[in-house]
Chains A and B, each alone.
Chain A
């Protein structure tokens, strides 16, 4: 691995060539997938130093105490998680204060979309099928990637694990707050084909206790209407440059509201939500004639959401029963040309067709055609790397709704990156300008939509340094990036002057400066294995909206901590593994109105102990986790408490 990486650094283009050779030769050998994988990783390694990225993969990813993708991402520098609490609470991720809608989440290079509101609930995605989770600020810089991969401010890549052998594993879990989980995974590898089927069923009452204690209250209670049950089944099939994925998720959950003053428990929130998400996607990539690389992506998504408060118990609030249907067809064509070893040119075209339907009054079906083209070039010459891309996006909506469709939106946006590497040390700098188009909710949603919205722009500038050290037992890396972001024309919901109504509007300008740093060290012998992973975020992002308003101008953005950090230590001895994670998130203000309107800083300690016992050809395992060991009461959203200390016991069996 060390050897390969050096190779890459010296002359990445050589590898591209090598990759083609290997692929060609791989067709003759049975372990072709292995070879191809190796190439994918190494070629990515070359660009990864030019892009700012963080990755959790393999054993380290599985060693973390996590139930969803959100749990893994919170250990990355520059990431802020918004979590409404509990298993069922909406979990979204915000990177470097850009806002959740600027973060694209990709499964094997294809974006998970939500035409309605543009955010992805990370609670819906399991890590058990993932080989790695990566966060890229700005572009990933593969030499052949789809146009939509250039179209988000930050990108999270979830890479599905490609099985290398036949296996069956079953997990059963009992956790706090009456939570039960059962999971099964079958995977196979035959004649170059590999794949898996992974299913999970979870049921949780989620009635965790909370306490609010201050000068003005001592509120103790248990979360009500916080239950969730979900089933998830997904499968994947791979062969060589072909990969495919099918996914189905079905859930029902309660929507608990904020904890507010009440005289008794007589009136509780009764709102419930149902989700049914389905997608199927496939991707194929191939090299031909040495200089050419082609990738084709296709995806179909079908999502259903129902929100209902129309119950006999609800005699006091609006009785809502709304259904939302989204469908999304997506196709991408990418082509890369490598005329010389040091140069790669690529062009990609993406098209997405979305349909949103809902039984809201004054609403009708909305259709969106979203097309993107990108042209990109990459140079790798004697340790010097540079990449530039120009993205063109075009949005066109059609609706039968009486408000009419927004005008078509068309914009060009650039990104440039450069890096220089010498003896494992890389210096890099990049700039990216990108926008998010107003979502269909922003434009057309009944009684808030505003079809005159302009896109919300982000401009990111980053300078960083990265160092890798490898030896037979040791492996370490550190990186630090200083960045500056500007966000213009934020799309927010604001009340209209002199009416009782609210509307989406372009309002707000954010200026953000920060520092992200990560350090990783690993040491291993035959029996022992140590890993230490650390991340640190210092950030000052301020509101630059209204210079006249001294209460808000140059004041920190709400919900954004100045300082946050995380440390994870993993110790393995033979088949025993112990992980402890520490997370600190500093004080965040949630309103400018009162210095007391802050979310207190919190420390979180999670621990996980795993023991695996091989018996004949089977493996038995037991895993005990403690989350929030110190039982810290904290929140991400005011009055939405997070669960305190909780336990998980998992038994596993595998062949």
Chain B
């Protein structure tokens, strides 16, 4: 893994120190207006109120997701403030909109930002639109206005962009309060037209939490209903889904409450299965190889081991609250929410799982974004595909997963599962 990075770094032949730059959203407490951003650089917390420092104002209540759109722009959903905040990579405000209330998670193709919402109304360039269920809004990053929407299932959560399509995990999470059942579907939307292509029924309820993407594969958590239906993980193949196959996912009997994509394209997932009936509680930690899982229909591809000392370190955490691998460098991170009234912590490991440090952040540290190391340009790398088992040539893709006919512009591309740099 490290070799890959080294070769990458050598290949671009730029004078870089491998700089770790992590933006971390601390959710704070609900209705306390204390969402804060921590900024971590090369082994140190630079600030636990990075947004306040840069803008002399508060971020808002319960930030929920963060994504980099291009080299100049980052979007943050601030759920209970009903704000989508756009900032530059140095933390300065660029714009904000309240057109998408109860916003949840973000995806991008570099030109538009796509945001899922539990709400039923949306301010668009054509006026207010109403929905019975939840929806996805498409925001133009030139105007910061919603240019199109698409209604999906109730309470849509995780969202991923792949080959011109959006894959949206529906939860139906208000089923406990409202008069509808949990959702079980992944909605596929044509990103350009914002028309629903189809819903894939996974048979698993409540597809809740941030999903992880590794090229064509998604790792989607289903916490179940905490009573009769236990937690599960859905490994989803976007390519197969786009081809029209109903056989495009496999269900694993693990919770992936917190998951991320590793540098080799595998998923790292931790979570617990819990039932209020029994108060029984089963913690799990796994590395999932999506290809293997899909190829063997779940019989293989799951390893109950984590790199280095990670597992022991994770078990010591008061309350694991997020896990992340820097897609540029492979360094591994997790957060500990601790006692929830005290400051949480950011824990760092080397790509091999060597514990590097624990840093005090703020309440409920949850959502990560790595900035490209100095000298490296923003690539949009959220993940890379698995280089472990090269099969036939898949062609060259850009970081959004769009197949390229020829490489004309400078940047990082993926060729047969490996990152390549075009000068």
- A500-B208, A552-B341 in contact; A316/B83 too (CB < 8 A)? no
Is there a chain B Cβ closer than 8 Å to A495's Cβ? yes
B279 near A450: Cβ-Cβ < 8 Å: yes
Which B residues lie within 8 Å of A267 (CB)? 82, 98, 101
B270 near A498: Cβ-Cβ < 8 Å: yes
Query: Of all chain A residues, which has the CB nearest B273?
Result: A499
- A318-B174, A499-B271, A594-B343 in contact; A261/B78 too (CB < 8 A)? yes
| B3-57 interface (Cβ within 8 A of A) | 29, 31-34, 48, 52, 56-57
A592 near B343: Cβ-Cβ < 8 Å: yes
Q: How far is the CB of B81 from chain A (nearest CB, A)?
A: 5
- A217-B58, A257-B31 in contact; A496/B281 too (CB < 8 A)? yes
Is there a chain A Cβ closer than 8 Å to B402's Cβ? no
> A592 CA to B271 CA in the complex, in Å?
26
Which of B81, B271, B339 is A552 in contact with, Cβ under 8 Å? B339
B96 near A263: Cβ-Cβ < 8 Å: yes
Is there a chain A Cβ closer than 8 Å to B320's Cβ? yes
Is there a chain B Cβ closer than 8 Å to A72's Cβ? no
B52 near A403: Cβ-Cβ < 8 Å: no
Q: Which of A447, A497, A503 has the most CB of B within 10 A?
A: A497
B121 near A316: Cβ-Cβ < 8 Å: yes
| A522-568 interface (Cβ within 8 A of B) | 545-546, 549, 551-552, 558
Q: How far is the CB of A263 from chain B (nearest CB, A)?
A: 4
Query: Of all chain B residues, which has the CB nearest A217?
Result: B58
Which of B32, B97, B98, B273 is A262 in contact with, Cβ under 8 Å? B98
B33 near A315: Cβ-Cβ < 8 Å: no
Is there a chain B Cβ closer than 8 Å to A471's Cβ? no
Which B residues lie within 8 Å of A638 (CB)? 29, 32-34
Which B residues lie within 8 Å of A499 (CB)? 223, 226, 231, 255, 257, 271-274
Which B residues lie within 8 Å of A261 (CB)? 33, 57-61, 78, 81, 83
| A291-321 interface (Cβ within 8 A of B) | 315-320
Is there a chain B Cβ closer than 8 Å to A104's Cβ? no
Is there a chain B Cβ closer than 8 Å to A191's Cβ? no
> A31 CA to B136 CA in the complex, in Å?
77
Is there a chain A Cβ closer than 8 Å to B342's Cβ? yes
Which of A315, A361, A450 is B130 in contact with, Cβ under 8 Å? A315
Query: Of all chain A residues, which has the CB nearest B271?
Result: A498
A591 near B120: Cβ-Cβ < 8 Å: no
Is there a chain B Cβ closer than 8 Å to A215's Cβ? yes
Q: Which of B33, B81, B101, B208 has the most CB of A within 10 A?
A: B33
Is there a chain B Cβ closer than 8 Å to A402's Cβ? yes
| A185-235 interface (Cβ within 8 A of B) | 215-217
Q: How far is the CB of A121 from chain B (nearest CB, A)?
A: 19
Which B residues lie within 8 Å of A551 (CB)? 338-339, 342-343, 360
Q: How far is the CB of A400 from chain B (nearest CB, A)?
A: 14
Which of B31, B223, B318 is A260 in contact with, Cβ under 8 Å? B31
Which of B29, B59, B208 is A591 in contact with, Cβ under 8 Å? B29
Bitwise, B238-259 to A at CB < 8 A (1) or not (0) is: 0000000000000000010110
Which A residues lie within 8 Å of B338 (CB)? 549, 551
Which of B102, B176, B337 is A446 in contact with, Cβ under 8 Å? B176
Which B residues lie within 8 Å of A446 (CB)? 176
Which of B48, B98, B362 is A264 in contact with, Cβ under 8 Å? B98
Which B residues lie within 8 Å of A317 (CB)? 102, 118-119
A594 near B362: Cβ-Cβ < 8 Å: yes
> A403 CA to B273 CA in the complex, in Å?
17
Which A residues lie within 8 Å of B397 (CB)? none
Which B residues lie within 8 Å of A495 (CB)? 319, 337, 340
| B111-135 interface (Cβ within 8 A of A) | 118-121, 130
B274 near A496: Cβ-Cβ < 8 Å: yes
Q: How far is the CB of B61 from chain A (nearest CB, A)?
A: 4
Is there a chain B Cβ closer than 8 Å to A600's Cβ? no
Is there a chain A Cβ closer than 8 Å to B143's Cβ? no
B363 near A591: Cβ-Cβ < 8 Å: yes
> A360 CA to B178 CA in the complex, in Å?
10
> A579 CA to B314 CA in the complex, in Å?
60
A258 near B33: Cβ-Cβ < 8 Å: yes
A498 near B320: Cβ-Cβ < 8 Å: yes
- A316-B119, A496-B274 in contact; A549/B255 too (CB < 8 A)? no
| A382-410 interface (Cβ within 8 A of B) | 402-404
Is there a chain B Cβ closer than 8 Å to A411's Cβ? no
A593 near B363: Cβ-Cβ < 8 Å: yes
Q: Which of B32, B121, B338, B343 has the most CB of A within 10 A?
A: B32
Bitwise, B147-191 to A at CB < 8 A (1) or not (0) is: 000000000000000000000000000111110000000000000
Query: Of all chain A residues, which has the CB nearest B155?
Result: A318
B277 near A402: Cβ-Cβ < 8 Å: yes
- A261-B83, A361-B176 in contact; A549/B339 too (CB < 8 A)? yes
Is there a chain B Cβ closer than 8 Å to A574's Cβ? no
Which A residues lie within 8 Å of B57 (CB)? 216-217, 261
Is there a chain B Cβ closer than 8 Å to A639's Cβ? yes
Is there a chain A Cβ closer than 8 Å to B421's Cβ? no
Is there a chain A Cβ closer than 8 Å to B351's Cβ? no
Query: Of all chain B residues, which has the CB nearest A317?
Result: B102
Is there a chain A Cβ closer than 8 Å to B328's Cβ? no
B255 near A498: Cβ-Cβ < 8 Å: yes
A315 near B120: Cβ-Cβ < 8 Å: yes
Which A residues lie within 8 Å of B119 (CB)? 315-317
Q: How far is the CB of A425 from chain B (nearest CB, A)?
A: 44
Q: How far is the CB of B117 from chain A (nearest CB, A)?
A: 8
Is there a chain A Cβ closer than 8 Å to B394's Cβ? no
Is there a chain B Cβ closer than 8 Å to A266's Cβ? yes
A639 near B82: Cβ-Cβ < 8 Å: no
A593 near B59: Cβ-Cβ < 8 Å: no
Q: How far is the CB of B276 from chain A (nearest CB, A)?
A: 6
A319 near B177: Cβ-Cβ < 8 Å: yes
A592 near B342: Cβ-Cβ < 8 Å: yes
Which A residues lie within 8 Å of B174 (CB)? 318-319
Q: How far is the CB of A220 from chain B (nearest CB, A)?
A: 14
Is there a chain A Cβ closer than 8 Å to B209's Cβ? yes
Is there a chain B Cβ closer than 8 Å to A631's Cβ? no
Q: How far is the CB of A505 from chain B (nearest CB, A)?
A: 10
| B321-344 interface (Cβ within 8 A of A) | 337-344
Which B residues lie within 8 Å of A497 (CB)? 272, 281, 283, 318-320
Q: How far is the CB of B56 from chain A (nearest CB, A)?
A: 6
> A360 CA to B281 CA in the complex, in Å?
24
Is there a chain A Cβ closer than 8 Å to B80's Cβ? yes
Which A residues lie within 8 Å of B130 (CB)? 315
Query: Of all chain B residues, which has the CB nearest A258?
Result: B31
Is there a chain B Cβ closer than 8 Å to A449's Cβ? yes
Query: Of all chain A residues, which has the CB nearest B98?
Result: A263
Query: Of all chain A residues, which has the CB nearest B363?
Result: A593
Which B residues lie within 8 Å of A639 (CB)? 31-33
B120 near A216: Cβ-Cβ < 8 Å: no
Query: Of all chain B residues, which has the CB nearest A507?
Result: B339
| A598-655 interface (Cβ within 8 A of B) | 638-639
Q: How far is the CB of A637 from chain B (nearest CB, A)?
A: 9
> A446 CA to B255 CA in the complex, in Å?
21
Q: How far is the CB of A11 from chain B (nearest CB, A)?
A: 53
Which B residues lie within 8 Å of A360 (CB)? 176
> A217 CA to B98 CA in the complex, in Å?
18
> A500 CA to B258 CA in the complex, in Å?
10
- A497-B319, A497-B320, A549-B339 in contact; A262/B362 too (CB < 8 A)? no
Instruction: Spell out A's residues near B (CB within 8 Å).
Output: 215-217, 257-264, 266-267, 315-320, 322, 360-362, 402-404, 446-447, 449-452, 494-501, 503, 545-546, 549, 551-552, 558, 590-594, 597, 638-639
Closest 4 CB pairs of A and B: A498-B272, A258-B31, A260-B61, A261-B60
* 13 A-B pairs with C-beta separation under 8 A: A260-B60, A260-B81, A263-B81, A316-B121, A318-B118, A361-B176, A496-B272, A499-B255, A551-B339, A552-B339, A591-B342, A593-B363, A639-B31
**Other CB < 8 Å A-B pairs besides A361-B176, A594-B343, 11 of them?**
A260-B32, A261-B61, A261-B83, A262-B60, A320-B178, A362-B276, A447-B176, A450-B276, A497-B318, A499-B255, A638-B34
